Each structure stands twice: as C-alpha cells, then as structure tokens.
Amino acid sequence: MAAADPIMNVRRDGSSGLSSSSKQGGRVMRHPVHRFLLLVLLATSARAGDCVVRNYRFHDGETMAEVRIHYVTIGIARKDNVVLILHGTGGSSKQFLNDHFAGLLFKPGGLLDSSKYFIVIPDSIGHGESSKPSDGLGRKFPHYDYTDMTDLQHRLLESLGVDHVFLVMGTSMGAMHTWMWGERWPDMMDALVPLASAPDADRRTESRLAKDGDRRSSARRPHCRTSNHADCHQRPVAVAEERADAR
C-alpha cells in the first residue's frame, strides 16, 4: 500500500474534521419549484473541504510532497450511515449535485435521503479541484493508477474519522473503483453499487485503449507532442470540462 505522512483535513469554512448540516424533512417534493428549493437546500447544506496527504508515495515509488483531495459532504455523520459516491473519468463531485441526481436520490424520502445518510463525494486525483497535472507540474506530475486513486479515497475517509461505510457506489471509472473497494477493504462496507462497469476488466486492453486515445488526442493537439502544456496530461473530456468551468 502507498505510504504517506499524517493527513490534514481542512474544511473550506475553516473548520476541520466532520461537520454537521441541517436536517431535511417533509414529504417528497415533485413539483419543479419544490425540487428547485430542495437543490438550494442541498447546496447550502453541502460542505466542501480538502484532505491534504503529505509525502504521498504512489504505486510506482514516485512521491509528492502534498496531494490534495477535494470533497463535498452532505448530511450528518453517524456510525452506520456513510455513503461514498465516486465519479467517472473526466467527472467530479459537481456532477452528483444536479437536479437529475441529487434532486432525486438525496431528497426527503429518496433512496439516499440526506437527512438519514452522510454522503461523501470526492474529486479523485487528476479531477475536479483535487491535485492534477494541470495545476502546474504537467508531465512532471507522478503517474497514478486506480490503486492510488482508491487509496487516496480511503485516506480521505480516514481523515474524516470514518472506519465503516454503509454503501460505496460509483459510475463508470468510479464503478471500477467500487469493485476495487470491495476487493481491498471487504469488511469496511455493507454494500457496493457499481454502475456501468464490469468487475474483471482486461487491464492490458484497457491500457491499450487509453494509449490509443492519447495518440488521437495528441494528433488533435499538435503542441502536446513536444510541450509540457498543462492540458496535455488530461483526457480530452477533462480538458473540455475544465475549460467550461473557467467560463
């Protein structure tokens, strides 16, 4: 397992560790206005923070002085109600806070009613507001794989004082991470819900497809062949999302 020094967990509101949020109750909201109000409530109750892992050692031995894992939490933490939600390639925690996801699952009476569950949604390394090559290191950024990504997710939960999870669920790449959670920490969760993935991917095929994608991406971005430009180290979809966020 990758090594690291102790973890520092800092909330964006200046506090540290777990924070509680307002409970939500009442009947299920179906009217568009009600759902809009629910999203406003979720937005105000969601807490964002950064888990900083110092002197992190990646799977191949490379080290990084500080790895930042950004995350969002919704709800109040109890011993048996933690839900970890993992995004896919090019995604981030933001994708789970929209009307199509949060407005259905996190609402009062929903499957993951945020008045009952403590929901943790990290940005995996290389994505969103977590550490990534486009922060400035470019090609010098350590090479990371699913082992590092899941290990850092696990360290995030440790920093929050979480030692047991009710549910781990993810989409696409996040679903592959979900399978890995079941393999690496089988006694830590009650249930796994991997969406849009298979448990036994052919890693050689996966690697070959990724390399083919990188070659096609470089052909569309000629400056990447010789440049250390930041966007040369992300998949095209991640570049597009980052540029859209900057607008």
Rounded CA separation 228/169 (Å): 35
Arithmetic mean of pLDDT, 211-220? 54
Q: Is 228 helix (H, G, I), strand (E, B) or coil?
A: coil
Return the exposure string of 216-231: e unless at least 16 CB atoms fall within 10 Å of the residue's CB, then b.
Answer: ebeeeeeebeeeeebb
Question: In this predicted model, what pLDDT tens digit does every residue of 41-68 receive, in sequence order?
Answer: 555 468 999 999 999 999 999 999 999 9
CA distances from 107 to 12, 45, 96, 100 (A): 24, 12, 13, 11
Question: In this predicted model, what pLDDT tens digit does every residue of 180-210 receive, in sequence order?
Answer: 999 999 999 999 999 988 776 555 545 555 5
Rounded CA separation 35/98 (Å): 11
109 neighbors 28 (Cβ within 8 angstroms): yes
CA distances from 58 to 25, 77, 144 (A): 43, 30, 7
Q: Is the pTM of this model over 0.75?
A: no
106 neighbors 113 (Cβ within 8 angstroms): yes
Rounded CA separation 97/72 (Å): 10
The residue with tokens 């945020």 is 114
Provide the pLDDT for residue 91: 94
Provide the pLDDT for residue 229: 54
* Banded model confidence at residue 160, pLDDT cuts 50, 70, 90: very high
- Overall fold of domain 7-246: Rossmann fold (3.40.50)
Q: Is the pLDDT of residue 32 over 50?
A: yes
Rounded CA separation 173/146 (Å): 9
Rounded CA separation 228/133 (Å): 10
74 neighbors 28 (Cβ within 8 angstroms): no
